[in-house]
């Protein structure tokens, strides 16, 4: 009897495919002739046209026989070893359920951008095929391709082909005259540094250029070498203008490659054990050390500004590292990263790594691999650092835990603290949240015993909190005082300058004038893409939208009525700087806002210069308000903070209180006493009054009572279903239809849990970047029954082809009303 031939082994793999929409996102089954471990990326055919897509294997099972349904094969395996650990694979499924994202959205977020891959298509000439006839169009295109003298010319001919031309390319490939190859490349390819611009010709040899090009030329002649991004912003032109000047030989373009480890050169210069803790700090440290190795538990450290929370972090992190574990320290802003990372490098040396969005793709990839190998023990970074591939996690610390920057506003819409909790549960280690102004949610959980509350009431070395004065700007106006500075603040700036101390001024609006309004019809000049007034920037005499980035020349007539009388109203940091130079002309002033910190290392350089005493006054937006330590700052001024109270979100009081409390706390952190001056038109408002007193517990009692009454978090959770599209009628109809789908789902499934559904309404900013925006607000609980309901609604509503051009998404506990 003949022995039956052994059938080859077959594996069925579940692949998460990139660019799959939420409505049909699932694990797609493919056949593989080899075992492909979960966590490996693959290339697969997808859809009716079998377009090649990159995907990642999330499941793999051996098949005893050929599956009944005809499955497509895996075309190529990108990775020899899985790039995602079992923990990260589990996190992919968790993110999909908790944040209503696709599988590949979760993968894309966990992997650093530099490690993500893309399919690159290349077309080249093949050997001649004499027996194969060609049409006139095919012969014509082939003639030009064969005549191309350079690769660039060859690619340009292909790129210029229209739809019909691309079909001709396809037939030439089929007939064997052209060869098409697709390769998988990491996105780090070509990411070598910062693109810089400088003049290539002397000023008297500049050839005739257009008016638009003259703007860029003038900036480069004034500033010398500058990054392309900054040069284009300052001149109000696009990168296409810069490219044209480079092609014409007027401007020279070159690349500066930043060091991969900015802080590593200094090395370890002191020891963590040298830090002496106060009695309060020691008590917090001892309690946290006792919790190490006892499993996951969440602690909330509430310490006044200047109480020395960072010193506690350092001693605690040192203890964890000495036990052979890794630590993740999250900070809310890139602006805080240089200062704290430099301090940690001095204490711990090169076992420290930094992760934030301003790193190049190459830096992110190298850092990711160093962490995964275990060479790095301490990871410091912003929100995305919570996904660092640590293998032996011993602690996560979240500094300034109440900051909104820890919440992602694009898919997957996760909160870094929620991810941190998940990771600490996996590794059975504690989570430490810390802030002088904790979020209302965290303090609520601490008061109920869900978190353990740790407190530090005194500043380190018993230095007092700054004395706060509240100045009524309405009273100043009645006395005939104009301008942005009260008499009290102006005199204080003079006194501080004469005493050799430094000052800090906060104004949370950049630009020069915040609104340009018509004197005839009273209409502001709106951004053409957004329902938001443009901001005037004097440095380049242009109008800019701070939401979509649109820039245009200053208008001379009203776009609404054609009126020629335009009023410039409001003030931003640029105008504040100008007026400040009139008040204290001898002062050296440093302005810090998004307009002056474009380059990758601007934060580090400017803050270091201020710390070294090269400037007397720093003025800026909220980026200077939190977490920074400048011992010689004794005066803090807060200007025009009233508008933040009415930002259209139920968290506006909380954010205003936090901003004022934190920026006031920047003063008096050295040997000299601090003073803060708060300018406001509402001096009796309880939020401002309590912030001036640094009275967080009293503010919390007021805020939690208000949220109980209105049923807002943390009393419940809020799911915002958002709708965006180019046509407002489509967006509005889709929002109404989704509300009906939600009500039908509740009826059909017999959903019996408490739920409040508000009618769909436009967002406060109803149009941003050309897209209209509506929202449907659902008050619920973030539990599986509610998430299943929302998932069913998104799937059903999203599958309706009537609204194919409307994008909808769900955001649990995101911003409401913005």
Q: Which of 621, 635, 694, 622 is nearest to 666 (CA)?
A: 635
- The rounded distance, in Å, linking the Cα atoms of 194 and 604 is 16
- Paired with 353 in beta bridges are 379
High-pLDDT (> 90) share of the chain, %: 45
**pLDDT score recorded for residue 190:** 47
**pLDDT score recorded for residue 154:** 86
3-class SS at 473? helix
**pLDDT score recorded for residue 596:** 58
Give the ranges where 394-470 is alpha helix by DSSP (H): 416-427, 440-447
CB 608 within 8 A of CB 474: no
**pLDDT score recorded for residue 666:** 83
Q: What confidence tens digit (pLDDT) does each residue in 327-362 have?
A: 999 998 876 666 788 889 889 988 999 887 767 677
Q: Which of 718, 734, 709, 738 is nearest to 796 (CA)?
A: 738
Q: Write down the residue that tokens 């660092």 correspond to.
A: 388
Q: Which of 773, 769, 764, 768 is nearest to 728 (CA)?
A: 773
Mean pLDDT of 186-208: 74
Cα–Cα distances in angstroms (integers) from residue 419 to residues 355, 366, 407, 408, in the given order: 16, 23, 11, 12
- Assess whether pLDDT exceeds 50 at residue 260: no
Q: What confidence tens digit (pLDDT) does each residue in 673-695 have?
A: 889 999 888 888 999 899 988 89
Q: Which of 119, 111, 121, 122 is nearest to 40 (CA)?
A: 111
- The rounded distance, in Å, linking the Cα atoms of 501 and 634 is 6
Q: What confidence tens digit (pLDDT) does each residue in 744-774 have?
A: 999 999 999 999 999 999 998 899 989 999 9
- The rounded distance, in Å, linking the Cα atoms of 782 and 62 is 37
- Assess whether pLDDT exceeds 70 at residue 268: no
Both tokens of 719, joined, read 């799911």
Q: What confidence tens digit (pLDDT) does each residue in 407-432 have?
A: 998 899 999 999 999 999 999 999 99
C-alpha atoms less than 13 angstroms from C-alpha of 155 in its C-beta half-sphere: 5
Q: Decide which of 551 and 318 is more confident.
A: 318
CB 378 within 8 A of CB 272: no
Helix (H), strand (E) counts: the chain: 23, 33
Q: Which of 600, 677, 602, 691 is nearest to 644 (CA)?
A: 691
Cα–Cα distances in angstroms (integers) from residue 164 to residues 132, 145, 433, 765, in the given order: 21, 16, 59, 42
Question: Is pTM, for the whole model, over 0.75?
Answer: yes
Q: What is the DSSP string of 74-130?
A: P-EE--SS-SS-HHHHHHHHHHHHHH---HHHHHHHHS-GGG-EEEEEEEEE----T
CATH fourth-level superfamily of 272-460: P-loop containing nucleotide triphosphate hydrolases (3.40.50.300)
Q: What confidence tens digit (pLDDT) does each residue in 296-313 have?
A: 999 999 998 888 899 999
Both tokens of 725, joined, read 């599209």
Q: What confidence tens digit (pLDDT) does each residue in 809-818 have?
A: 999 998 876 6
- Where does the pLDDT of residue 642 fall: very low under 50, low under 70, confident under 90, or very high at 90 and above? confident
The CATH code belonging to domain 717-812 is: 3.30.70.360
Both tokens of 588, joined, read 């050296």
Binding residues: 518, 521, 527, 530, 545, 548, 558, 561
- Assess whether pLDDT exceeds 90 at residue 262: no
Cα–Cα distances in angstroms (integers) from residue 510 to residues 538, 548, 619, 738, 810, in the given order: 11, 15, 11, 38, 31
Both tokens of 252, joined, read 């020279």
CB 568 within 8 A of CB 162: no
- The rounded distance, in Å, linking the Cα atoms of 475 and 235 is 40
- Assess whether pLDDT exceeds 80 at residue 186: no
Average per-residue pLDDT for the chain = 86
Both tokens of 441, joined, read 């949610």
10-116 shares its CATH topology with 467-512+571-708: no
Question: What are phi and psi for residue 629, nearest 5 degrees?
Answer: -125, 105
Q: Write down the residue that tokens 């959980």 correspond to.
A: 445
DSSP state of 182: E
Secondary structure of 773-804 in the HEC alphabet? EEEEEEEECCCHHHHHHHHHHHHHHHCCHHHC
Cα–Cα distances in angstroms (integers) from residue 82 to residues 38, 40, 52, 56, in the given order: 7, 4, 21, 10
Burial of 751 (0-12, 13-18, 19+ CB in 10 A): middle
Tell me how far apart the 2 most distant CA atoms of the chain are, in Å. Answer: 113
Q: Can you give the residue ranges of every domain in the chain?
A: 10-116, 119-186, 194-256, 272-460, 467-512+571-708, 717-812
**pLDDT score recorded for residue 817:** 64
Domain 10-116 coded CATH 3.40.1440.60: yes
The helix (run of H) or strand (run of E) holding residue 543 is strand 542-544
Q: For the domain with range 467-512+571-708, which CATH number is right: 3.40.50.300, 1.25.40.340, 1.10.1060.10, 3.20.20.70?
A: 3.40.50.300
Q: Write down the residue that tokens 């870094």 correspond to.
A: 416
Residues 6+ positions from 638 with CB-CB distance below 8 Å: 505, 506, 660, 663, 664, 676, 677, 678, 679
Binding residues for Zn(2+): 518, 521, 527, 530, 545, 548, 558, 561
CB 453 within 8 A of CB 298: no
The helix (run of H) or strand (run of E) holding residue 699 is helix 696-710
Mean pLDDT of 495-509: 89
**pLDDT score recorded for residue 68:** 62
- The rounded distance, in Å, linking the Cα atoms of 38 and 89 is 8
Q: What confidence tens digit (pLDDT) does each residue in 451-471 have?
A: 999 999 988 777 788 888 989
Q: Write down the residue that tokens 């029954």 correspond to.
A: 785
For domain 194-256, which architecture applies? Orthogonal Bundle (1.10)
CB 580 within 8 A of CB 589: yes
Strand ranges in 387-498 using DSSP code E only, listed in sequence order: 393-399, 431-435, 452-456, 467-472
**pLDDT score recorded for residue 733:** 96
Q: What confidence tens digit (pLDDT) does each residue in 57-78 have?
A: 999 998 866 666 789 999 989 9
- Where does the pLDDT of residue 711 fall: very low under 50, low under 70, confident under 90, or very high at 90 and above? very high
Please report the sign of the dihedral spanned by the C-alpha atoms of residue 131, residue 134, residue 139, residue 142.
Answer: negative
Mean pLDDT of 550-576: 82
Strand ranges in 244-376 using DSSP code E only, listed in sequence order: 251-256, 298-303, 326-330, 352-355
- Assess whether pLDDT exceeds 70 at residue 5: no
3-class SS at 720? strand
Q: What is the DSSP string of 192-239?
A: -SEEEEEESS-GGGPPP--HHHHHHHHHHHHH-SEEHHHHHHHHT--H
- The rounded distance, in Å, linking the Cα atoms of 538 and 512 is 6
């Amino acid at each position: 009897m003949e022995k039956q031939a052994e059938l080859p082994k077959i594996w069925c793999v579940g692949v998460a495919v990139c660019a799959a929409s939420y409505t049909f996102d699932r694990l797609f089954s493919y056949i593989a002739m080899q075992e492909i471990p979960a966590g490996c990326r693959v290339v697969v055919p997808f859809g009716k046209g079998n377009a090649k897509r990159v995907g990642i294997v999330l499941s793999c099972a051996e098949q005893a026989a050929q599956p009944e349904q005809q499955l497509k094969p895996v075309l190529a395996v990108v990775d020899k070893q899985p790039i995602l650990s079992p923990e990260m694979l589990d996190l992919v499924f968790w993110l999909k359920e908790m944040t209503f994202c696709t599988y590949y959205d979760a993968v894309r977020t966990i992997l650093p951008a530099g490690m993500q891959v893309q399919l690159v298509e290349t077309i080249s000439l093949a050997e001649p095929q004499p027996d194969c006839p060609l049409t006139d169009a095919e012969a014509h295109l082939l003639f030009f391709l064969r005549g191309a003298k350079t690769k660039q010319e060859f690619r340009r001919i292909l790129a210029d082909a229209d739809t019909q031309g691309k079909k001709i390319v396809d037939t030439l490939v089929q007939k064997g005259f052209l060869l098409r190859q697709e390769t998988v490349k990491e996105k780090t390819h070509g990411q070598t540094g910062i693109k810089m611009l400088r003049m290539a010709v002397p000023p008297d040899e500049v050839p005739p250029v257009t008016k638009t090009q003259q703007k860029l030329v003038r900036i480069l002649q004034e500033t010398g070498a500058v990054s392309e991004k900054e040069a284009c912003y300052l001149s109000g032109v696009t990168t296409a203008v810069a490219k044209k000047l480079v092609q014409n030989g007027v401007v020279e373009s070159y690349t500066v490659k930043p060091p991969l480890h900015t802080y590593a050169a200094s090395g370890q210069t002191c020891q963590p054990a040298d830090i002496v803790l106060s009695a309060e700090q020691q008590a917090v440290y001892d309690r946290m050390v006792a919790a190490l190795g006892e499993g996951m538990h969440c602690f909330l450290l509430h310490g006044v500004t200047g109480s020395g929370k960072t010193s506690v972090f350092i001693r605690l992190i040192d203890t964890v590292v000495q036990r052979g574990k890794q630590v993740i320290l999250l900070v809310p802003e890139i602006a805080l990263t240089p200062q704290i990372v430099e301090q940690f490098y001095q204490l711990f040396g090169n076992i420290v790594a930094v992760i934030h969005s301003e790193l190049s793709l190459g830096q992110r990839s190298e850092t990711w691999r160093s962490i995964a190998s275990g060479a790095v023990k301490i990871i410091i970074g912003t929100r995305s650092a919570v996904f660092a591939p640590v293998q032996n996690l011993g602690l996560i610390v979240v500094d300034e835990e109440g900051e909104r920057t820890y919440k992602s506003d694009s898919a997957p819409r996760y909160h870094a603290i929620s991810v941190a909790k998940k990771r600490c549960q996996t590794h059975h280690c504690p989570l430490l949240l810390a802030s002088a102004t904790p979020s209302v949610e965290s303090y609520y959980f601490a008061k109920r015993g869900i978190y353990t509350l740790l407190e530090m009431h005194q500043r380190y070395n018993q230095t007092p909190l700054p004395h706060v004065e509240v100045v009524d700007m309405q009273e100043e106006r009645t006395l005939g005082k104009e301008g942005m500075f009260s008499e009290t603040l102006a005199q204080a700036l003079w006194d501080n300058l004469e005493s050799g101390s430094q000052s800090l001024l906060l104004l949370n609006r950049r630009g020069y004038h915040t609104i340009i309004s018509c004197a005839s019809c009273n209409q502001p000049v709106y951004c053409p893409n957004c329902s938001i007034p443009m901001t005037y920037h004097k440095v380049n005499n242009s109008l800019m939208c701070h939401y979509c980035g649109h820039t245009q020349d200053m208008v001379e007539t009203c776009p609404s009525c054609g009126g020629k009388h335009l009023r410039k109203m409001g003030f931003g940091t640029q105008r504040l700087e100008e007026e400040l130079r009139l008040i204290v002309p001898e002062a050296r002033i440093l302005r810090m806002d998004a307009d002056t910190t474009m380059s990758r290392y601007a934060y580090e350089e400017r803050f270091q210069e201020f710390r070294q005493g090269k400037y007397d006054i720093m003025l800026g937006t909220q980026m200077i308000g939190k977490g920074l330590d400048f011992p010689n700052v004794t005066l803090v001024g807060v200007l025009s903070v009233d508008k933040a109270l009415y930002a259209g979100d139920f968290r506006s009081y909380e954010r205003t209180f936090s901003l004022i409390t934190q920026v006031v706390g920047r003063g008096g952190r050295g040997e000299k006493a601090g003073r803060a001056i708060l300018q406001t038109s509402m001096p009796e408002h309880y939020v401002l009054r309590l912030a001036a007193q640094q009275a967080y517990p009293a503010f919390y009692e007021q805020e939690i009572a208000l949220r109980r009454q209105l049923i807002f978090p943390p009393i419940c959770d809020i799911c915002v279903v958002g709708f965006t599209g180019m046509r407002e009628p489509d967006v509005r109809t889709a929002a109404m239809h989704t509300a009906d789908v939600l009500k039908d789902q509740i009826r059909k499934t017999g959903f019996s849990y408490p739920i409040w559904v508000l009618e769909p309404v436009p967002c406060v900013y109803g149009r941003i970047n050309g897209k209209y925006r509506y929202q449907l607000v659902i008050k619920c609980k973030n539990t599986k029954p509610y998430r299943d309901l929302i998932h069913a609604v998104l799937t059903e509503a999203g599958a309706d082809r009537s609204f194919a051009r409307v994008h909808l998404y769900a955001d649990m506990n995101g911003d409401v009303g913005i």
